[in-house]
Amino acid sequence: MNSQLIRKLSPYHHWEYKNLETGDLLRIVPERGGLITQWICNKKEILYLDQERFKSFNKSVRGGIPVLFPICGSLPKDLLRLPQGDFLIKQHGFARDIPWEIHSLDDQKGISLNLSDTEATRKLFPFKFLIEMKVRLQENALDIKIIVHNRGEENMPYSIGLHPYFKVSDLSNVSFRGLAETCTNHFDMSINSTRVQLEEISSGIDFITTTTGPVSFIDLETNQSIEMQNKSPMDLAVIWTDPPRKMICMEPWTSPRESLINGNRRLVLEPGCLHSFASKFVSN
């Protein structure tokens, strides 16, 4: 066996998935939204995690790789209006806040994180669904494939995304590649120059833009780079910083904010059907 998945209690309750040949590992806390809290690649800590905030169950996590579903971003007054009625749903949805199931993949080369609808989720989002997230440690990379199933009898509108937090040594010493020339500034929803937005990275930025290929950033102090490879329809990129935290969120989304209201890139899954998504993060 070249890998193992074991339960550990320190530094917090989690599951550890480890490649015994390379030493690369993941820490996962399925009870906290299927959260991947740590990724060690080539003996380097790739992800940022605020462990003190992580201990506070009444606060959203700042770190790891939260999963965004069934919305990305927020809705006005947290209100989702559907033919079935009005539903209150908080920013980024509920998937990052509730327990997932964890299993080893059949080929023993990764893990599967699964989330199904419950009576509680249907009070927020009136659909029957199953999310399967297959996570594999590859050479210098973390490969994530997501399958969303509609197990109900009605069309299911939704969006989905990932919200990874990456460690950096200094926000003022980071360079990006692959972003489009223009972006939407989430602070005021204006169309801006991406270059101008990035000049404010140390003050805090939050924008979304399209991609036509890989997007990457390099930490110029350590020469560590992360490349995000994402395919349509998960081909939007959100860049977010929260100074003084030494981290960058480089996030693949399928749809922008309010897509379930305005229809912009809204995904609709028919009964009995599934959608597949893929993202890969390469560490160099």
pLDDT value at residue 1: 55
Residue 283 pLDDT level (bands cut at 50, 70, 90): very high
Residue 21 pLDDT level (bands cut at 50, 70, 90): confident
Residue 157 pLDDT level (bands cut at 50, 70, 90): very high
- The four Cα atoms 146, 174, 61, 36 give a dihedral, to 10 degrees, of 40
142 burial via Cβ count (<10 Å: 0-12, 13-18, 19+) = buried
106 burial via Cβ count (<10 Å: 0-12, 13-18, 19+) = exposed
Predicted confidence (pLDDT) per residue in 170-220, tens digit: 999 999 999 999 999 999 999 999 999 999 999 999 999 999 899 999 999
pTM of the model: 0.95
Q: What's the residue count for the chain?
A: 284
Predicted confidence (pLDDT) per residue in 41-77, tens digit: 999 999 999 988 888 877 788 999 999 999 999 999 9
Nearest CA among 128, 247, 264 for reference residue 208: 264
Neighbours of 223 (CB within 10 A): 8
Do residues 110 and 4 make contact, with C-beta atoms less than 8 angstroms apart?
no
